């Protein structure tokens, strides 16, 4: 396929490189980042999108996505696919899909899970929203860039799946960190805590696969001074998106709301920016109940 790739940051660059290595013709554009090996450079986003079978975007937020879409959609061929892999608000994803449809372009929102390591290794998980036709066209590319792609339904549903998943993740990580901090003060060894909870009803991905306590369980960012595998500021972004969506549809999400407030304090008022989202554990260690 002929592919345009707009947004060549920490995630986009390795994704584009993997597509190029697999034999696709990839033309990239980014305002600041260089093109990875095998990817031709375009001077504008519109130039990167013109004449392509698929245009992939990996952008910071919904406002930038809508701005880029307004620039590139009129240049795209009818029947081409705009695949947005950014994590943005549901409303922006659906608005871009509507604009694409009006111009005869297929649209799919497919945010990812798996982080920078997954992007480099080609083991991302894609949560895709859009038509069956668009998914069928994109599926071979998902197979190159990732290990799994789930078609979640209509446009916007990929974003909905991502933010619901990450709301659960943020809440369970906070609960896991709270529990370790409480166990410390009760005199319960962390390894004993892990052995019980990881095989009991407190089992979760946050405990079993990504334990926030260093030296306990499988290797995780906690064992690397909390250098981010998934940065706290990205968790805050996703939790805020979950609350924006909850407000839009009048959903009661008190735990998600509280998690967003805690990560907001951690990132913006404390020392959480640039740390892994599991660094909530040392935060709770230092705090008293008052």
Determine whether 162 is an active site residue: yes
Closest CA to 204 of 230, 177, 225: 177
Under a CB-based contact definition with an 8 Å cutoff, are residues 65 and 72 in contact?
no
Q: Is 175 exposed, middle or buried (0-12, 13-18, 19+ CB in 10 A)?
A: middle
What tokens appear for 228 in the block? 């981010």
Q: Which listed residue (162, 185, 237, 273) is catalytic?
A: 162
Q: What pLDDT is attached to residue 88?
A: 96
DSSP string, 4-19: EEE--STTHHHHHHHH
Q: Which top CATH class is 160-286?
A: mainly alpha
Q: What pLDDT is attached to residue 45?
A: 98
Architecture field, domain 2-153: 3-Layer(aba) Sandwich (3.40)
Residue ranges, comma separated, of all CATH 1.10.1040.10 domains in the chain are 160-286
At 249, phi and psi to the nearest 5? -110, 10
Closest CA to 56 of 13, 22, 101: 13
Closest CA to 236 of 212, 203, 269: 269
Q: What pLDDT is attached to residue 116?
A: 87
Q: What pLDDT is attached to residue 115?
A: 86
Residue ranges, comma separated, of all CATH 3.40.50.720 domains in the chain are 2-153
Q: What global pTM score does this model have?
A: 0.92
- Does the structure show a pLDDT above 80 at 290? no
At 161, phi and psi to the nearest 5? -65, -40
* pLDDT-above-90 percentage for the chain: 98
Residues 159-200 have pLDDT tens digits of 999 999 999 999 999 999 999 999 999 999 999 999 999 999
């Amino acid at each position: 396929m002929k592919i345009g790739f707009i947004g060549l940051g920490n995630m986009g660059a390795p994704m584009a490189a993997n597509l190029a290595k697999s034999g696709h013709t990839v033309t990239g554009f980014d305002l600041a980042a260089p093109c990875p090996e095998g990817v031709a450079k375009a001077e504008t986003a519109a130039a990167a999108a013109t004449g392509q079978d698929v245009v992939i975007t990996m952008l910071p937020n919904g406002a930038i996505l809508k701005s880029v879409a307004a620039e590139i959609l009129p240049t795209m061929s009818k029947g081409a696919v705009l695949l947005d892999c950014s994590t943005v608000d549901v409303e922006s994803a659906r608005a871009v899909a509507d604009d694409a449809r009006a111009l005869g372009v297929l649209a799919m929102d497919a945010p990812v899970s798996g982080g920078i390591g997954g992007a480099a290794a080609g083991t991302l998980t894609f949560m895709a929203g859009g038509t069956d036709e668009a998914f069928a066209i994109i599926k071979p590319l998902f197979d190159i860039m990732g290990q799994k792609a789930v078609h979640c339904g209509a446009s916007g549903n990929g974003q909905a799946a991502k933010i619901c998943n990450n709301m659960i993740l943020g809440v369970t990580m906070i609960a896991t960190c709270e529990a370790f901090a409480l166990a410390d003060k009760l005199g319960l060894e962390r390894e004993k805590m892990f052995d019980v909870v990881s095989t009991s009803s407190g089992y979760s991905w946050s405990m079993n696969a990504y334990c926030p306590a260093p030296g306990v369980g499988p290797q995780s960012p906690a064992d690397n001074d909390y250098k981010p595998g998934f940065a706290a500021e990205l968790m805050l972004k996703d939790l805020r998106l979950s609350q924006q969506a909850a407000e839009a549809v009048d959903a009661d999400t008190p735990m998600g709301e509280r998690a967003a407030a805690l990560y907001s304090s951690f990132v913006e008022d404390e020392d959480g920016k640039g740390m892994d989202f599991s660094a909530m554990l040392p935060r709770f260690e230092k705090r008293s109940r008052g």
